[in-house]
Amino acid sequence: MPNVAPNIAVLTGDLIRSTDLRAADLRRAIAALQQAAEDIAAWDGVETAFGLRGGDGWQLVLRPAPLALRAALTLRAALRTLGKSYDSRIAIADGGDAMPPDGNPNAALGPVYVTSGRALEAMKGEDGLRWGTEAKGAATLLADHISRDWTPAQARALTPQLAPQPPRREDTAKILHISRQSVNKALWAAGYPALSEALQMIETALDQ
């Protein structure tokens, strides 16, 4: 029986309008991405590798692959907590490939890594999130449309709740020092109820 590589997802991104950011703001954005990558790595049953590419680029490798869109939205939310001007293009590719053996995505040259990098290069100025074509591509386009207007307050409530096993909203409220009602209001305004259900549907379909 042939040795088939397990499916991974590779998210390749670069900060939008990074040349408009001051050096300190750029460092804050990179730190937010790194923290989000650590949060994603703490999800149950998830294996990740994260690395920076150049001054404003980055790459996240994720297994299992069906969680890729959830991870992309988590990274966008983490950036948006800093302000509405903080954002990143994110190109996703998935397929049979290996995790980087040394934990550094920049050292990996497999087909999924190449496809993700090329997809980012093909994205235009207004593109935000992209993941192939057909069903998952359509879902990603809709998720991009919903998430591109998230406010910092909405993003702060969303970041922990986007995890596959989110904390209780009471706990999120305590961490943010706001009421549960404020958390619920922010999540509703951000489209979280429908988005959360859609992510579960997508992940179940891709896992089959």
- Which stretches does DSSP call E strand in the chain? 7-15, 47-53, 57-63, 88-96, 129-131
| Domain coverage including residue 80 | 7-206
Per the structure, how many domains does the chain have?
1
Q: Is residue 112 part of a domain?
A: yes
**DSSP H or E stretch at residue 133:** none
Which residue, 70, 48, 73, is CA-closest to 61? 48
- Residue located via tokens 């990143």: 88
47-53 vs 57-63, strand pairing mode: antiparallel
Reported pTM: 0.94
Q: What is the pLDDT of residues 148-197, one digit of tens each?
A: 999 999 999 999 999 999 999 999 999 999 999 999 999 999 999 999 99
Inter-axis angle of helices 192-206 and 68-80, to 10 degrees? Answer: 150
CATH code of the domain containing 67 = 3.30.70
The predicted structure's pLDDT at residue 67: 97
Domain for residue 123, yes or no? yes
Tokens in use for 56? 């404003």
pLDDT for 59-103, tens place per residue? 999 999 999 999 999 999 999 999 998 999 999 999 999 999 888
Q: Residue with structure tokens 């096993």?
A: 165
Residue with tokens 């179940």: 204
